[in-house]
Chain A
Amino acid sequence: MGNLAEELMAELTCETAFTIPVFGGIPIPESVAVTWAIMAFLLIASVLLTRNLKIVPTGKRQIALEYCVTFLNDFFTGILGEHGKRYIPYLSTVLIYIACANLIGLLGVKPPTKDLNVTAGLAIMSIVLIEYCGIYSKGVKGFIKSFAQPMPIITPINIMEIFIKPLSLCMRLFGNVLGAFVVMELIKIIMPAFLPIPFSMYFDIFDGLIQAYVFVFLTSLFMKESME
């Protein structure tokens, strides 16, 4: 058990991939380097996919792309309503990023979402967006008043929710990815050949995609709540 604990600890700690040699050396953690790789991949993919689009699509590429974009738009519009259309690009980006980050473990790279700092950053961005939504749609006065709704007595609970929401978003994503990772490691110890394949289908692919979906789904649900 001691051996396993050490191994898990080694996986948990965020290794420094390389150091930028300016200002006395800025350490770049592995999760940041992998995130940059995902960003580059998504950037190149989006540039390549959106080249010479036509009003009447002829190629399969544009039809598939339009299908995906329409699906995402409909999904978020269904939750947020017509007023929430301005937030769709951010939410879609986070969805695609988390999905890529969870799936990149298949390539043998450490998924960035296994780093608590990454999920904490995503959750903080979400809570800032959620509160911004409330301020934007209700005004500063209405936003402050909304803490005393539906009754003034639950104001402390409403204030506590500001901290609980991102904490639960962050811990859910981190715990799921880490849990899947630990279970996969244990399975690999038991039987390294064949047995991990079906489990990998569930833990790496299905669970990763579901968690990406749940993260943006909950974010948009909280946004809808704060907009009302």
Chain B
Amino acid sequence: MSTMVAIGAGIAVFTGIGAGVGIGIATAKAAEAIAKQPEAEAKISKALLLGAALAEATAIYGFVIALLVILFLG
């Protein structure tokens, strides 16, 4: 039972893949944009922060689910 719970929690944390890829792409594009237009850095970093926060949410949901799985089943 305990091993199954651990595996389940591990699968839930796979949501982190999406967040990692998403934030990576967003940061890459932001770096490109700043290289093209250094004067627009303030606006770009604001948009980047928002996008990163939204992309990160999926990873956070996965984490919360994994924690709940461990706490209430394990």
Residues of A within 8 A of B (CB): 1-2, 5, 8-9, 12, 168, 171-172, 174-176, 178-179, 182, 210, 213-214, 217-218, 221
Contact call A213/B49, Cβ cutoff below 8 A: yes
Dominant SS at the A interface?
helix
8 closest A-B pairs by CB: A175-B60, A214-B53, A175-B64, A5-B74, A172-B57, A179-B63, A5-B70, A9-B71
Residues of B within 8 A of A1 (CB): 2, 6, 70, 74
Known: A1-B2, A1-B6, A168-B57. A217 touches B50 (CB 8 A): yes
Given A1-B74, A12-B71, also A214-B60 (CB < 8 A): no
Nearest-Cβ distance from residue B65 to partner chain A, whole angstroms: 10
**B67, CB-defined interface residue at 8 Å:** yes
By beta carbon, the residue of chain A nearest B68 is A12
Whether A214 and B50, one on each chain, are in contact in the complex, defined by CB atoms closer than 8 angstroms, is yes
Is B61 in the interface zone, CB < 8 Å from A?
yes
Chain B facing A: main interface SS: helix
A182 / chain B contacts, CB cutoff of 8 Å? 67
The answer to whether A171 and B60 touch (CB under 8 A), given A1-B6, A8-B71, is yes
Which residue on A lies nearest to B64, using beta carbons? A175
Contact B74 A179 (CB under 8 A): no
Given A1-B6, A179-B60, A172 and B71 contact (CB-CB distance below 8 Å): no
Partner of A175 from B2, B6, B50, B61 at Cβ < 8 Å: B61
| A215 to chain B: closest residue by CB | B53
We find that the number of chain B residues with CB closer than 8 angstroms to chain A is 15
Shortest distance in angstroms between B48's beta carbon and chain A's nearest beta carbon? Answer: 12
What are 22 A-B pairs with beta-carbon distances under 8 A? A1-B2, A2-B2, A5-B74, A8-B70, A12-B71, A171-B57, A172-B57, A172-B60, A174-B64, A175-B60, A175-B61, A175-B64, A176-B56, A176-B60, A179-B63, A182-B67, A210-B49, A210-B53, A214-B53, A217-B53, A218-B50, A221-B50
Please state if B64 and A171 are interface contacts (CB–CB under 8 Å).
yes
Tell me, in angstroms, the Cα distance from A168 to B61 when the chains sit together. Answer: 9
Chain A neighbourhood of B60, CB < 8 A: 171-172, 175-176, 179
Q: Are A218 and B53 in contact (CB under 8 A)?
A: yes
Known pairs A213-B49, A214-B50, A217-B50; A5 contacts B71 (CB<8 A): yes
Q: In the complex, how many angstroms separate the beta carbon of B60 from the nearest chain A beta carbon?
A: 4
- The reply to whether B67 and A178 form a contact with Cβ atoms under 8 Å apart is yes
| Distance from B16 Cβ to chain A, minimum over Cβ atoms (Å) | 11
Partner of A172, one of B49, B53, B70, B74: B53
Identity of the chain A residue whose Cβ is nearest the Cβ of B65 in the assembled complex: A175
Bound: A210/B67 CA distance, A: 23
Complexed CA–CA distance, A9 and B74 (Å) = 11
The residue on B at minimum CB distance from A217 is B50
The docked-state distance in angstroms from the alpha carbon of A168 to that of B70 is 22
